[in-house]
Chains A and B, each alone.
Chain A
Amino acid sequence: MSAQLEDFVGKPWRKPHFITNPFWRWSLIVITVVYLILAIGSLEVSWQRVYLGLERGWRFIVGFSQPDFESRWSDIYDGMVESVIITITSTVVGIAISIPIALGAASNIAPMPVYLLCRGIISVSRALNEIIVAILLVAIFGFGPLAGFLTLSFATIGFLAKLLAEDIEDMNKSQAEAVRSTGASWLQWVNFGVQPQVMPRLIGLSIYRLDINFRESAVLGLVGAGGIGATLNTAFDRYEFDTVAAILIMIIATVMVLEFLSGYIRARVQ
């Protein structure tokens, strides 16, 4: 038995703490507990109201067993078509604008002033919630699908341009350099050196964004920016839970189809 071993044997072993400094560890625990007490304490739950609402909740669940597609079918149909239309147009336009911005926001391609400008646009687009943008655009452009289309196009830029720019920054330098060394112009270089490397990802992200845009288009109607959301809101206001169920089933089904499609296509191109 070595001398060193004697120091260890007989002593209890405890797992080293995640935060080694006991002061910080205990402050963190105390702060968390105090916060939780305060936060939960500030919740004002009227259990009586909840109890009364349970009956509606039950009707909502029952609504799913007998969804009513028929009585408001024309409203549902128009709303769904409008949502789909907003989704398609905003995704296409959003992608078209995102590509140049992504090129500008990739530090290995763009000069500094362009880089900062494009990164600025991306940050603004990401920081603003879609619903808030929609409210402002409805105020400016009036009610209707145009506001929804503009909102989602703008939101697509922040999402797609950021991820695409990161992908361009991660690309294989030697491939791009090889194309440049042939004496290609800047556009040729982007076409032959950069595009092939980021294309699979661009396709994958675009389809993913199509999926997101559809989900978002379903709520834009709540603030008057077109789509199925308006129909849904009306149904909720009238407590027509069977119609609500019908609309939600259609949304979930569409989302599932889109998700399956996007998974399939992404698996194909990558």
Chain B
Amino acid sequence: MPSKINANNVKTWQVRDRNGQLFRWALWMGAAILFYISWMRISDQTTWYFFFDAPRIAADIGGRAFPPRWEYIFSLGKPIWDTFNIATLGTIIALTIAVPVAFLAARNTSPKLPLHPIIVRLIPRFIHNFVKKVTGQDMVSVGIVRPLALLVIVSTRSINSLIWALLLVSIVGPGVFAGLLAISIRSIGFCAKLLYEAIEEIDEHQVEAVKATGASGWQVMVYGIVPQILPAFAGIAVFRWDINIRESTVLGLVGAGGIGLQLQGSLNILAWPQVSLILGVILIAVIIGEFISAKVRAAII
């Protein structure tokens, strides 16, 4: 029981003992200093005159933006169609790739292909030691499939779709195709991660039972594993589709097609009535997307 003796020689109760309290205090202090330093850097780079002038500028822009230029909506038909296609086709492509990647990444389904002895000898000693230290296993028995699948997941997931779009625009040229690829690639890692976590959580007894009937590996997959992860799969698909609708609306800012292209164009010529209309359309699209995905998810569960 943490307690201390106070001046009157009476034991008083405390929540934590002295070291614990010191540690917490230091933690908070460190965090506060870090925040202060960070804040000062932002402050240094800010012209505070503009900051205090902001309400006036905001009011000015707001005044210019309203009323929206309604008739502009007729030129938004194709961009909206493109945006929807980028999100939907992108989700479909991502899922077709994410499913095998997830099966290769999940501990219980990943094939345990050992490294070829010759390759093992080519790997530097310190990597061997590192792997052994981290996993507690020999490099040979760790296998290569799972780490590779995890690498695909991490690298596609850590990079924002706008950055992917930037890259793909410079590779395949501006347009819807670049946006589609960007959304697809970004979604692979996201979907595969959630999916492989679902695969790792399945009930192994059901799999064991199918195995015990003399089923082949693929049959065990179709009868024992797939039915168990199907609800998770459907949930992930609509969840990601919803996110992709949001993301595909801004891809045009870097030239990757969709309604963001019109947004960028309107911003460049300071056509605020068009900007406000486009933002309104994007907002409605996002809300519809969220509504549909919520409905579908509720229907699945």
Contact B176 A44 (CB under 8 A): yes
Contact B253 A131 (CB under 8 A): yes
Q: Which of B97-105, B156-164, B204-212, B214-222 contacts A (4 or more CB under 8 A)?
A: B156-164
Contact of A56 (CB < 8 Å), options: B160, B170, B176: B170
Contact A215 B158 (CB under 8 A): yes
- Is A88 at the interface (CB under 8 A from chain B)? yes
- Would you give the shortest CB distance from B93 to chain A, in whole angstroms? 11
- Would you give the shortest CB distance from A247 to chain B, in whole angstroms? 9
- Is A145 at the interface (CB under 8 A from chain B)? yes
- Is A168 at the interface (CB under 8 A from chain B)? no
Contact A252 B158 (CB under 8 A): yes
- Is A255 at the interface (CB under 8 A from chain B)? yes
Question: A127 to B250, alpha carbons, bound, how many Å?
Answer: 13
- Is B173 at the interface (CB under 8 A from chain A)? yes
- Is A181 at the interface (CB under 8 A from chain B)? no
Q: Which residues of B contact A256 (CB under 8 A)?
A: 154, 158
- Is A267 at the interface (CB under 8 A from chain B)? no
Q: Which residue of A lies closest to B287 (CB)?
A: A127
Q: Which residues of B contact A232 (CB under 8 A)?
A: 163, 166
Question: A58 to B176, alpha carbons, bound, how many Å?
Answer: 21
**Interface 1/0 per residue, A113-151 and B, CB below 8 Å:** 000000000000001110110010001111011100100
Contact of A127 (CB < 8 Å), options: B85, B167, B170, B286: B286
- Is B180 at the interface (CB under 8 A from chain A)? yes
Chain B interface size, under 10 / 10 to 19 / 20 to 34 / 35 or more: 35 or more
Question: A180 to B28, alpha carbons, bound, how many Å?
Answer: 29
Contact of B57 (CB < 8 Å), options: A89, A127, A140, A146: A140
Q: Which residues of B contact A84 (CB under 8 A)?
A: 38
Contact A53 B173 (CB under 8 A): yes
Q: Which residue of B lies closest to A128 (CB)?
A: B283
- Is B282 at the interface (CB under 8 A from chain A)? yes
- Is B35 at the interface (CB under 8 A from chain A)? yes
Contact B171 A54 (CB under 8 A): yes
- Is A49 at the interface (CB under 8 A from chain B)? yes
Contact of A140 (CB < 8 Å), options: B54, B85, B282: B54
- Is A109 at the interface (CB under 8 A from chain B)? no
- Is B51 at the interface (CB under 8 A from chain A)? yes
Contact A140 B61 (CB under 8 A): yes
- Is B46 at the interface (CB under 8 A from chain A)? yes
Contact B160 A142 (CB under 8 A): no
Q: Which residues of A contact B50 (CB under 8 A)?
A: 141-142
Contact B42 A149 (CB under 8 A): yes
Q: Which residue of B lies closest to A149 (CB)?
A: B42
Contact of A222 (CB < 8 Å), options: B31, B176, B177, B254: B254
- Is A27 at the interface (CB under 8 A from chain B)? no
- Is B175 at the interface (CB under 8 A from chain A)? yes
B: residues with CB less than 8 A from A are 31, 34-35, 38-39, 41-42, 45-47, 50-51, 54, 57-58, 61, 81-82, 85, 88-89, 154-155, 158-160, 162-163, 166-167, 170-173, 175-177, 180, 246-247, 249-250, 253-254, 263, 267, 279, 282-283, 286-287, 290
A: residues with CB less than 8 A from B are 39-40, 42-46, 49-50, 53-54, 56-57, 60, 81-82, 84-86, 88-89, 92, 127-129, 131-132, 135, 139-142, 144-146, 149, 215-216, 218-219, 222-223, 226, 229, 232-233, 236, 239, 244, 248, 251-252, 255-256
Can you report 9 residue pairs joining A to B where beta carbons are below 8 Å apart? A49-B172, A89-B39, A129-B247, A141-B50, A141-B54, A149-B42, A218-B163, A244-B167, A255-B154
Q: 7 extra interchain contacts, Cβ-Cβ under 8 A, other than A43-B176, A127-B290?
A: A50-B172, A85-B38, A140-B54, A145-B46, A218-B163, A222-B253, A256-B154
